[in-house]
Amino acid sequence: MTKKAVLVGCNYPGTKAELKGCVNDVERMYRCLTDRFGFQEENITVLIDTDENFRKPTGANIRRALLTLVKGAEPGDVLFFHYSGHGVRLPAETGDDDDTGYDECIVPTDMNLITDDDFCEFVDKVPSDCIFTIVADSCHSGGLIKNEKEQIGHSTQTEFDGEQKREGRFGFRELLSETVHDLVHDAFESRGIHLPSRNGHRHESEYNKEETVKVLNYREGEARNRSLPLSVLIEILKEKTGQEDIDVGKIRPTLFDFFREDASPKVKKFVKVLVSKLESNDDGGFLGAIGNLAQQFLKQKLEDSDDSSGYLEPALQEKVSSTHEVYAGSMKNGVPDMGILISGCQSDQTSADANPTGNPLNAYGALSNAIQAILSEHDGPIANRELVMKAQKVLSKQGFTQRPGLYCSDCHVDAPFICD
């Protein structure tokens, strides 16, 4: 049996998305894996963006590290992935009733997003009889890997605690009104036009006129939100690409246009389907408002390209069995029985980046810190269920509203966290 890990920390230094505690989380987890769980240093891959001696946590590098982790695994191996950084939800590109309304993503340091469907493809490659534990200390992480059984949480349940909760409902119809409002608001914000929000509440982009990430108060001090507002994502993409016409509907094709071969497989599949729609002159069908905006962007790019076939090659190489593969919230196999996800929060919630002393050396992710505190109080193994339940209590006591979740098959609920 071999124990292997990939640890990713994104502080986004010098950007509008900057956080303080993510690299600290990775350093603490590294020591925990070697000192407590017996991982060998040569079997731990670290990607951080604050030290030139380490590989950068770009989208391509993270995907490459994950692919190496799962493809090199053998039955009986213990695999572990810890991500600490921003999360983002991309509004759905379709109008289908089976659509959840969002693509949940992690945000690499270069903004080359890795989607929930991309994660499903990685974990589907894990050999049988391997244990693959994922800790995602980021916003919206409860939806990061779909279709695995939700053991603790409300991301996929319509009822919990005996009450019907709005934030626990994730059908497309329930979210349609809210999603359309947010799309319109973000589309105007991305063009520099500020609009008032519904019901007297501030839209998340309104928090970012001076601060790019909302500052939260909790009992030990201040914390920042690890959710990347779409307006900030768009602003950073404009700076990276030099394109000034990016808005909500053009995020996916912009990612393809800039990263090409290194773009998310989900993004490339989406572009491939857009191409088929263009070739068939089909302006309707599965596409919603976002998809139609993306189609217009791609059409213009192809008209301006001297070699449209070469431009599209990375997308055309992707295998797409049906248009449902590009739906946000499409039904896939999900995590195999050996997969375990511990999320920092529910899919409709945000995770905190805390800095209680004001010194960046003491900053941390709320979930990552809670896990380390709980492990320090247990000499022996602690079950996944017990760890998550204790983490919820720790965070609640500290004044955080995020609720960590557990997603795995029944046989792993009371199995030891990571390994014996």
The answer to whether residue 378 scores a pLDDT higher than 60 is: yes
Token pair belonging to 310: 């070469």
Please pick, among 22, 32, 86, 412, the residue that the annotation labels catalytic: 86
The answer to whether the pTM exceeds 0.95 is no
Query: Please, which residues have CB within 8 angstroms of residue 340's CB and are 6 or more apart in sequence?
Result: 131, 132, 133, 134, 384, 406, 407, 408, 412, 415
For the question of residue 411 being annotated catalytic, the response is no
The answer to whether residue 85 scores a pLDDT higher than 70 is: yes
Q: What is the pLDDT of residue 307?
A: 83
For the question of residue 86 being annotated catalytic, the response is yes
> pLDDT tens-digit profile of 142-164?
877 766 677 877 665 443 343 33
- CA–CA distance, 417 with 51 (Å, rounded to integer): 29
| CATH of segment(s) 3-167+333-412 | 3.40.50.12660
Q: What is the pLDDT of residue 220?
A: 62
Position 288 confidence tier, pLDDT thresholds 50, 70, 90: low
DSSP 345: S
Please pick, among 10, 32, 130, 139, the residue that the annotation labels catalytic: 139
Asked whether the beta carbons of 266 and 329 are under 8 A apart, the reply is no
How far CA 417 is from CA of 243, 364, 366, 408, in Å, comes to 45, 21, 18, 12
Of 90-99, 108-117, 189-198, 285-294, give the lowest mean pLDDT range: 189-198
Query: Please, which residues have CB within 8 angstroms of residue 23's CB and are 6 or more apart in sequence?
Result: 9, 11, 48, 49, 50, 51, 84
Query: Of 145, 202, 156, 182, nearest to 338 (Cα)?
Result: 145
- CA–CA distance, 346 with 359 (Å, rounded to integer): 28
Q: What is the pLDDT of residue 174?
A: 33
> pLDDT tens-digit profile of 2-16?
999 999 999 999 999
- The top-scoring range by mean pLDDT among 35-39, 164-168, 377-381 is 35-39
The answer to whether residue 141 scores a pLDDT higher than 60 is: yes
Domain boundaries, the chain: 3-167+333-412
Q: What is the pLDDT of residue 205?
A: 37
